[in-house]
Amino acid sequence: MSYTGPGFDPPQPRRPRRGPLTVALAALVPGALLGWAVYAAVGGSGGDEGPGSAAASPSASPSASASPRTSSPAPSAGSGGGKPGASAAASGPLVGKVVVIDPGHNPGNFEHTAEINRQVDIGTNRKECDTTGTSTDDGYAEAEFTLDVAHRMRALLEKQGATVKLTQDGDRPFGPCVDERARIGNEAKADAVVSIHADGSGAGNRGFHVILPGAVDAGAADTRAVVGPSGDLGTRIAGDFVRVTGSAPSNYVGDGTGLVTRKDLGGLNLSTVPKVFIECGNMRDSEDAALLTSGAWRQKAAQGISEGIVSFLRG
């Protein structure tokens, strides 16, 4: 998810204060952070350039190649994607739990700019329905990345017994709009919702970050009941993402914690169930792009996010 374009405001330049979630993350994943340090020292994926502010970047061109570097796993039988009535696996620790995965953007958004520019109510104000997302410099689109990771997560979580629904599965011409994405999770009475993204910041800005909902009570939005559980969900995902992928928390937002709180995203503002976004890396940085275009790394990303969800749901 690029911070440029409709519907996404850049983070403020001030460094966020370390609050309870920072402390919680530090307490939850000391081993994971140590593991990342060792991984980086021997030449892993967690190299860290100097900090910088999030920069705007152009969206991907629709004419650019959008195919993943490796094909995603085939959807598992009975998963149902985003359709109601998706069946859960017969057994496992997450039987009875509902997880909604929200693959950010849509490959068809490029061809439906009028539709995705339509204003929708996000509680605090009105914003565009959706954006096109970003891409790597050689044309691997964020919308393709998010679907691939979502499919991998669905397979992993269904093996744990969860009922998994997708907000979109490449089965619609554009969108859904951000308000509908939130409504899908709400109507499913999801136990956890995770929106998958990749960032479009400036070169040299590296690493992942998890976006948490801030306390909002305005218009149709009231996040106060889900701020706490969403913070727990996001903290667990951040910890497991570090541990499994070896990637470092963002060096340009989040003050090194991998956690950012925002009040301007409709998908969070309108959610009545625990929900977070994860920016898995920066598509406009060549080192992060090498990871994001690797099928093996995307499998690790899916595993790290999924294990954070499992940890949250099992308490």
Q: What pLDDT score does 165 carry?
A: 98
Cα–Cα distance for residue pair 12/54, rounded to 1 Å: 9
Cα–Cα distance for residue pair 50/205, rounded to 1 Å: 8
Task: List the catalytic residue out of 142, 279, 287, 307.
Answer: 279
Which pair of tokens denotes residue 75? 């959807």
Amino acid found at 84: P
Helices (H), the chain: 20-28, 30-41, 113-116, 142-159, 178-187, 227-245, 266-269, 286-292, 295-314
Q: Which residue has the tokens 């976006």?
A: 211
| 197: in domain | yes
Q: What pLDDT score does 73 carry?
A: 52
| 33: in domain | yes
Of 270, 266, 303, 289, nearest to 60 by C-alpha is 289
| 259: in domain | yes
| 53: in domain | no
| 52: in domain | no
Cα–Cα distance for residue pair 12/222, rounded to 1 Å: 22
Which pair of tokens denotes residue 249? 């928390």
**Quick check: is 279 catalytic?**
yes
Q: What pLDDT score does 259 carry?
A: 98
| 145: in domain | yes
| 50: in domain | no
- Domain count of the chain? 1
| 117: in domain | yes
pLDDT digits (tens, 9 = 90+) for 270-306: 999 999 999 999 999 999 999 999 999 999 999 999 9
10-residue mean pLDDT series, the chain (315 residues): 41 41 45 42 34 32 39 42 42 95 97 97 96 97 98 98 97 97 98 98 98 97 98 98 98 97 98 98 98 98 98 96
Q: What pLDDT score does 2 carry?
A: 52
Residue 244 domain boundaries: 20-40+59-314
**What is the CATH classification number for the domain harbouring 144?**
3.40.630.40
pLDDT digits (tens, 9 = 90+) for 52-93: 333 333 333 333 333 444 444 544 433 344 334 444 445 899
In contact, 109 and 143? CB cutoff 8 Å: yes
